[in-house]
Amino acid sequence: MSTPTSPLTHFDAQGQAHMVDVGAKPATHRIAVATGRIEMLPATLALIESGTAKKGDVLGIARIAGIMAAKKTSELIPLCHPLALTRVAVEFETASTRHKGATGIFCSATVETVGPTGVEMEALTAVQVALLTIYDMCKAVDRGMSIHDVRVVEKHGGKSGSFVAEVVN
């Protein structure tokens, strides 16, 4: 087995992409939390909150889409390991943001497993797909929606330990 020559672990000594070997790593409880938001017109948010969107329960469907996406991350991201997830929770909060007075929906995804590799990619994928689902369900009334600030805000477990992102104001 060749060893990486850079901190980018998905490349071997010859610079070729490869799936990282996690076979010798101990299984530990791993948790990752990712967040993001979608901005939209106030009328679009009101439509979502009222539950009268033409395609149905926007947030309920987006929640299921996010959960399904976390489970399928290894099929979407080429070098991700398939994982046995023990928990996926996708939550939404509606609020006016401080960014140019825009109105939006905030999404948070918490993903857990017990295994040799982390679940950051699964949490990020859950948030992105949940927000994309909101866009898809509401694009007929608001094509100007935009997705912002998707990032890992917390991670626990494994060799590198814990990470908690600094709060961005």
Catalytic sites, residue numbers: 136
Q: What is the rounded CA–CA span in Å between residue 35 and residue 19?
A: 26
User: Is 60 in a helix, a strand, or coil?
Assistant: helix
Sheet holding 163-164, edge to edge: 85-96, 103-115, 28-40, 146-156, 163-164
The pairing of strands 163-164 and 146-156 is antiparallel
